[in-house]
Every structure is written in structure tokens, then in C-alpha cells.
């Protein structure tokens, strides 16, 4: 059975597993009926939180979720996100007031609901004033279209900036952060998780199975992991790259540890994420019913101190084996002009 944890300091309780809907729609499972059945199974198992985004299959994921929640909306803590490119429009993306005010209406329509429990900024956008974004989101909260405001894959400094803006300028406070976190991607342990705890933010980690590396399908010796993701993200999956070879070596060691502990690798991986005191709920993203069933039982697993110590020996705390897995590269690193004086 899932357990329920406080969603930050909001007074809301959500399940320690959140159903991620990224794989519902054309880029994952195109069968809407199958998606609805998976969602209903998750709800029947006690999961009461669903996370999606407008950009997942260009709105199709939200449509599947909307269909599934007919008659069950009141029981679900529903989260979605904005930021990514929708269609071909020049301004149909981003964190501007113009786009937020327009896109929330589209998400509400696709989700077949009058309100969104958690509306999240999917990625930072340094060229847009964070106060511009929080001002628009604050208006949506006052209008009753959004209950709470969150972020995804923000750096600690941006999280602190958001708290400062809320206090000094009377904006809605960001109450949650959704970062990448898994045994192979532990960089947020250095600063992000302590900052989230300091400000009482809920934390909803995405990719707790490290993009499939911890699903039990991958092992060292593969010339390339067998996954549809490989062609889209070669920098994360190309086994000839040393950083990815190190991930596969860690997977081998973790697979052995899971077997010695009487656990599946999936349960070991999810239980590890849930063991961190700052984590509220881990987002699982099944594409099929079998995927969901293989992950549900992790909510009951508690890892011993010895097993957690063994994991630390395989992947040291605060370490991302592949830096790309952090999910966001700030312009200060990505843009050469931001770090070089031009003669």
C-alpha cells in the first residue's frame, strides 16, 4: 500500500508515488483506452497524484488524463506544466505572462477540469523575469484556476530567488520542486534538497529509474541500451561514452545488490529515492500496465541502513555519473559568450 506524505506546508496529503503521464500519447502509448485503464489501476491502488505537462505528446497526455478523471476528479491531486514549445508559433512556449495566461486555458480544456492543483514551470528561462512568471501564476491562483505553484529542474539559486520574490513583491510562493533524482543521478543531494527542506518545499523527483537504466533491462556489455530513447538522447545512452559505461557498470553492481537484498532492481531504485527525508513523492512513468504493476510494490519497501550504505559505495552521494542527466544546463555553461570576453 502507498503511504501519504505532507505536500510541503500546504496541508495537502499525497501518495508517495505519483503517476507520471509522459508516456500517454503518440510518443509513448498511443492507445488512449489503455492509458485510461493504467490511470484507473493506479488510482485504485491508492495513488492520488498525477503529473503531466502540456508538451507531452503536444497535449495528448493531458487529454488522456482528462478522459480518465471523468467522475474521479475530486479525489486526485492533479499537476501539469508549461514552458515547452507547443505547435509552431513564435510565442507558443516559454514562461511569459502572455503564454501562461493563454496556455492554462488550453490545459484546463484538455484535462476537462475547472482547476489545476499544481501548475509548474517546466524549466527555467533566464531571459524572462521570474517575477513576470510568478505574477501571472499568482493571478491564476486568485482566479481559482490554479491552487498551487511549482517548478521543475530549477537550480537552488533560482528556488531561493522565487521565495524572495514572493516575500518582497507579494507573489504566490513556489511550494514544490520537481528535480531529476535516482541512484545514478544524485547531484541534487548537494544543495537542492537541503534548500527545499529549508523552505518547506515538497519534492517530486522525476526519472527515479534513471531513464530506464534501473528498470532491469540494461547491463554492461551492451553496445547500446535497447530503448526508444536512445535515438532522441544519444548523449545519455551511447554506451561507448565513458560516462554511460560507468552508469552501466553501476547498474551491474546495483542489480547484484538488489538480488542479495531479495528485491527487484526497480524496487531498490524507487525505495532509495523515497528514503530521502526531503522527498515527498517519486514520479513513476509507466507506458504499459506491466510497467505500472512492477513499480507499485516499491511503496512498501524500506531499505536497511546497510543497503543504503552499499548504494553510497557504488554511487557516492551528490554524484551525477553523467552530467547531462541533470536535465538542465544553465546559459552560463551552455553559452560561450557568457563565459568569455571577446577581444
Of the residues 4, 56, 199, 237, which is catalytic?
56
Which of 85, 178, 168, 92 is CA-nearest to residue 130?
A: 168
Mean pLDDT, to the nearest integer, of 273-282? 98
Could you tell me the pLDDT band of residue 253, with boundaries at 50, 70 and 90? very high
Contact assessment for residue 118 and residue 78, using Cβ atoms and an 8 Å cutoff: yes
222 or 94: which carries more pLDDT confidence? 94
Instruction: Determine the pLDDT at residue 283.
Output: 98
- Specify the fold of 4-216+265-324: TIM Barrel (3.20.20)
Does residue 202 surpass a pLDDT of 70?
Answer: yes
Q: What pTM value is reported for the model?
A: 0.95
> Is it the case that residue 59 has pLDDT exceeding 70?
yes
Mean pLDDT for 238-250 is 93
Sheet bearing 282-284, strands edge to edge: 202-203, 174-178, 146-152, 116-121, 77-82, 49-51, 17-20, 282-284
Q: Is 119 a catalytic residue?
A: no
Q: How confident is the model at residue 339 (pLDDT cuts 50, 70, 90)?
A: confident
* pLDDT of 225: 56
Return the pLDDT at 224.
Answer: 61
Residue 151 has pLDDT above 70, yes or no: yes
How far is residue 253 CA from its own chain's centroid? 25
Q: For the chain, give the mean pLDDT.
A: 95
Q: Where are the domains of the chain?
A: 4-216+265-324
Amino acid at each position: 500500500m502507498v503511504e501519504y506524505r505532507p505536500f510541503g506546508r500546504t496541508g495537502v496529503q499525497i501518495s508517495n508515488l505519483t503517476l507520471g503521464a509522459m508516456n500517454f500519447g503518440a510518443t509513448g502509448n498511443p492507445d488512449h483506452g489503455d492509458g485510461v485503464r493504467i490511470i484507473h489501476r493506479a488510482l485504485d491502488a491508492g495513488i492520488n497524484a498525477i503529473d503531466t505537462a502540456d508538451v507531452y505528446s503536444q497535449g495528448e497526455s493531458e487529454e488522456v488524463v482528462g478522459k480518465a478523471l471523468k467522475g474521479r476528479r475530486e479525489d486526485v491531486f492533479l499537476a501539469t506544466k508549461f514552458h515547452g514549445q507547443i505547435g509552431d508559433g513564435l510565442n507558443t512556449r516559454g514562461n511569459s505572462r502572455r503564454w501562461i495566461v493563454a496556455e492554462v486555458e488550453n490545459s484546463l480544456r484538455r484535462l476537462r477540469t475547472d482547476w489545476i492543483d499544481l501548475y509548474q514551470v517546466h524549466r527555467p528561462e533566464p531571459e524572462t523575469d521570474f517575477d513576470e512568471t510568478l505574477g501571472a501564476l499568482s493571478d491564476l491562483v486568485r482566479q481559482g484556476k490554479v491552487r498551487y505553484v511549482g517548478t521543475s529542474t530549477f537550480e537552488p539559486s533560482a528556488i531561493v530567488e522565487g521565495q524572495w520574490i514572493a516575500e518582497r513583491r507579494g507573489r504566490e510562493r513556489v511550494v514544490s520542486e520537481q528535480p531529476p533524482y535516482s541512484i545514478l543521478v544524485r547531484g541534487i543531494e548537494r544543495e537542492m534538497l537541503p534548500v527545499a527542506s529549508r523552505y518547506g518545499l515538497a519534492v517530486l523527483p522525476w526519472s527515479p529509474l534513471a531513464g530506464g537504466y534501473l528498470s532491469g533491462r540494461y547491463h554492461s556489455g551492451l553496445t547500446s541500451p535497447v530503448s526508444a530513447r536512445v535515438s532522441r538522447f544519444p548523449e545519455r545512452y551511447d554506451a561507448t561514452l565513458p560516462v554511460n559505461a560507468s552508469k552501466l557498470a553501476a547498474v551491474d553492481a546495483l542489480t547484484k545488490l538488489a538480488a542479495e537484498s531479495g528485491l527487484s532492481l526497480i524496487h531498490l531504485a524507487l525505495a532509495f529515492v523515497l528514503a530521502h527525508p526531503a522527498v515527498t513523492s517519486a514520479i513513476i512513468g509507466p507506458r504499459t500496465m506491466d510497467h505500472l504493476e512492477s513499480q507499485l510494490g516499491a511503496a512498501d519497501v524500506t531499505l536497511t541502513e546497510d543497503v543504503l550504505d552499499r548504494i553510497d559505495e557504488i554511487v557516492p552521494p551528490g554524484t551525477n555519473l553523467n552530467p547531462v542527466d541533470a536535465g538542465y544546463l544553465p546559459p552560463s555553461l551552455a553559452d560561450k559568450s557568457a563565459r568569455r570576453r571577446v577581444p
